[in-house]
Chain A
């Protein structure tokens, strides 16, 4: 069901994203948008959702949620945030981190609920009947181990200063579009993408490398 249902929304979201991207730059309105959303401005919410929906979906995919369920959970996330804002419970709106945290909470909650439901059946059907459950492997777990982090940081420190700066600008959670990153470092968008691609490739091999024995 999910895929067909969420499709129209997703396409609309993509189109908004495209238009946001083609505006090239325009992060100055970020704080203003968040402020307007906090005041209950529906169009501001729409713009923020369009901007960050895909990011929330990807964060759920990373936690092993199916793509259709990820779209549903992401939409539920936005609904909850809007609800909290309407009740006056939202003091500040730091996106996308707030939405990602809320989505991770919903995903964890759902995983727990599914386990409870499974418990109503036979105990033998529980996955932990066959494998002991690692308590650290919950849905809230960090996605990165300490060794991975230090390996990645060592790799990053071997990159050139400008490549490091571009990577940090593009990935530090502010969601700067590539055009904005390019404007800040004074390179072309094409070159920024190339550099990002190279850094990602290096970091990927560092992250996927087996931990040293």
Chain B
């Protein structure tokens, strides 16, 4: 029986799994017979679990990166973009030669014309969580060009403010208000 009490540093090594198997077995055997040492081990294990909870609750910040358009880091997409742009140019020249513009093309970044190369901003998402009205809600949102996520959407519900044709501030004005 190992009579020596456990040092917190040993308990930490054990918890981290960095102890030699024999030493770990001795430590375990000791904690079975020594309540204070079992408490030391539990405290270390609890700390380890708490650290993991902290790590999981913490959102990692984005990696610092060289500032450049995201699309440049995607050779495949860029290649597709270049091919499409070239095809479009050829089609333009072939189909409408009389209207071909002699001036140099304005689009320095032809890839911008592709929908998948849009800047990576979050889409404008709205939610239509009300089951009874979500069809109408979705139809209205589509009409306004918004992306709809339902039924349990996370976006904001689109607002359809009434518009009376009055300038802002009229209703709150104290005195007469010139329209």
A residues whose Cβ falls under 8 Å from a Cβ of B: 3, 7, 10-11, 14-15, 17, 54-55, 58-59, 61-62, 64, 66-68, 142-144, 148-149, 152-153, 156, 161, 164-165, 167-168, 170-173, 200, 203-204, 207-208
Q: Is the CB of A67 within 8 A of B17?
A: no
Shortest 7 CB-CB contacts between residues of A and residues of B: A171-B55, A61-B45, A62-B45, A62-B49, A62-B46, A14-B21, A152-B54
Residues in A whose Cβ lies below 8 Å from that of B15? 58, 61
Residues in A whose Cβ lies below 8 Å from that of B56? 171-173
B residues whose Cβ falls under 8 Å from a Cβ of A: 15, 17, 21, 24-25, 28-29, 31-32, 38, 41-42, 45-58, 60-61, 64
Q: Is the CB of A144 within 8 A of B50?
A: yes
Residues in A whose Cβ lies below 8 Å from that of B64? 161
Residues in B whose Cβ lies below 8 Å from that of A59? 45, 49
Determine how close the nearest CB of chain A comes to the CB of B147; give it in whole angstroms: 28
20 contacts between A and B (CB under 8 A): A3-B25, A14-B24, A54-B17, A59-B49, A61-B41, A61-B42, A144-B50, A144-B53, A152-B50, A152-B54, A153-B57, A156-B54, A161-B61, A161-B64, A172-B55, A173-B52, A173-B56, A200-B47, A207-B54, A208-B47
- Measured CA separation A168–B32 after assembly (Å): 33
Q: Is the CB of B51 within 8 A of A171?
A: yes
Q: Is the CB of B41 within 8 A of A207?
A: no
- Measured CA separation A2–B56 after assembly (Å): 33
Closest chain B residue to A53 by CB distance?
B17
Of the candidates A62, A156, A161, A173, the one whose C-beta lies within 8 Å of that of B42 is: A62
- Measured CA separation A11–B38 after assembly (Å): 21
Of the candidates A10, A143, A149, the one whose C-beta lies within 8 Å of that of B25 is: A10
- Measured CA separation A68–B42 after assembly (Å): 13
Q: Is the CB of B55 within 8 A of A143?
A: no
Of the candidates A17, A67, A156, the one whose C-beta lies within 8 Å of that of B31 is: A67
Residues in B whose Cβ lies below 8 Å from that of A167? 51, 55
Residues in A whose Cβ lies below 8 Å from that of B47? 200, 204, 207-208
